[in-house]
A and B are shown apart, each in its own frame.
Chain A
Amino acid sequence: MADGDIFEQLKQSIIDQDEDEVLAAVDKALGDGVDAKAIIDKGLLPGLNVIGEQFESEDIFLPELMQAALAFQAAMVVLEPKIKESGGADAKKGKIVLGTVKGDLHSIGKNILKLLYETSGFEVWDLGIDVDLFQFVDKAKEVDADIIAISALLTTTLIGQRDVIEALKDQGNRERFKVIVGGGATTKEWADTIGADGWAASAYEAVTLSAKLVS
Chain B
Amino acid sequence: MHMRHIELLTAKQVERVHEASLEVLENVGILAHFSAAREVFARHGCTVDGSSGLVTFPPEVVERYMAMAPPSFTFRGRDPRFDRTIPDDGPVVVTGSSAPNVVDPLTGVERRATSGDIANIAHLVNDLPGFDVFSISTLAADAPEGQFSLSRFYPALKNCLKPVRSNTPNMADLHQVVALGELIAGSADAYRERPIINHHYCPMVSPLTMDVDSTEAVMWLTERGLPVYTTVVPNAGLTAPMTMMGCLVVGNAEFLAITVFQQMVREHTPVIYASLPTVADMRTGAYAPGAIETGILIGAQAQLARFYGVPSGGYIGLTNAHSNDAQSGFETGMNTVFGVSAGATLLNMGGLFSSLMAFDFAKAVVDNEIALMDKRVWRGLEFSEENLALEEIASAGPGGSYMGRKHTRARMKTTAVLPELAARDMRAQWEEAGRPDIHARALAEARRILAEPNDAVWDAALDATIRDHFAGLVAGDATPLEA
Contact = CB atoms under 8 A, between A and B. Distances in A.
Interface in B211-254: 211-213, 237-239
Contacts of A158: 100
B427 interface: no
B393 to A, nearest CB: 56
Given A105-B205, A108-B239, A155 B100 contact: yes
Interface string A142-154: 0000000000000
A61 B357 contact: no
A130 B210 CA distance: 13
B169 interface: yes
Contacts of A204: 284
B292 to A, nearest CB: 19
A157 B169 contact: yes
B283 A61 contact: yes
B101 interface: yes
B98 A112 contact: no
Given A105-B211, A130-B212, A184-B355, A156 B283 contact: no
A103 interface: yes
Interface string B312-333: 0000000000000000000000
B357 A187 contact: yes
A5 interface: no
A184 B287 contact: yes
Interface string A164-187: 000000000000000000001101
Given A156-B169, A158-B100, A105 B33 contact: yes
B167 interface: yes
B112 interface: yes
Given A105-B209, A184-B355, A156 B98 contact: yes
Interface string A126-138: 0000100000000
Contact of A108 (B111, B168, B238, B357): B238
Nearest to A202: B284
Interface string A86-128: 0000000000000000010110110010000000000000000
Interface in B291-308: none
B33 A62 contact: no
Contacts of B98: 155-156
B356 interface: yes
B12 to A, nearest CB: 32
B356 A155 contact: yes
Interface residues of A, number: 25
A61 B287 contact: no
A190 B282 CA distance: 26
A63 B236 CA distance: 12
Contacts of B284: 61-62, 202, 204
Contact of B285 (A103, A106, A203): A203
A189 interface: yes
Interface residues of B, number: 31
A130 B213 CA distance: 10
Interface in B328-377: 355-357
A190 B139 CA distance: 13
A135 to B, nearest CB: 16
A101 B170 CA distance: 14
A63 B282 contact: yes
B133 interface: no
Contact of B99 (A103, A155, A193): A155
Interface in B28-80: 33
Contacts of A185: 100, 357
A189 B101 contact: yes
Interface centre among B33, B98, B169, B239 (most CB of A within 10 A): B169
A58 interface: yes
Nearest to B168: A156
A58 B355 contact: no
Contacts of A155: 98-100, 139, 356
Interface in B95-121: 98-101, 110-112
Nearest to A190: B100
Contacts of A156: 98, 139, 148, 167-169
A1 to B, nearest CB: 37
Nearest to A62: B285
A158 B285 CA distance: 21
Nearest to B235: A108
Contacts of B169: 103, 156-157
A61, A63, A155, A159: which has the most chain B beta carbons within 10 Å?
Answer: A155
A111 to B, nearest CB: 10
B170 A103 contact: yes
Interface in A193-215: 193, 202-204
A130 B209 CA distance: 13
B47 to A, nearest CB: 22
Nearest to A205: B284
Nearest to B207: A108
* Residue in A63, A105, A106, A203 with the greatest tally of chain B CB atoms within 10 Å: A105
A107 to B, nearest CB: 9
A188 to B, nearest CB: 10
Nearest to A193: B112
A187 B284 CA distance: 17
Contacts of B111: 189
Given A103-B170, A106-B205, A157-B169, A62 B101 contact: no
13 contacts: A61-B283, A105-B33, A109-B285, A155-B99, A158-B100, A159-B148, A185-B100, A189-B110, A190-B100, A193-B112, A202-B284, A203-B285, A204-B284
Interface of B: 33, 98-101, 110-112, 139, 148, 167-170, 205, 209, 211-213, 237-239, 282-287, 355-357
Given A103-B169, A156-B169, A189-B111, 9 more contacts: A105-B205, A105-B211, A106-B205, A108-B239, A109-B285, A155-B98, A157-B169, A158-B100, A203-B285
Q: Which 9 A-B pairs give the minimum distances between C-beta atoms?
A: A62-B285, A156-B169, A105-B205, A61-B282, A105-B211, A155-B100, A155-B98, A61-B283, A108-B238
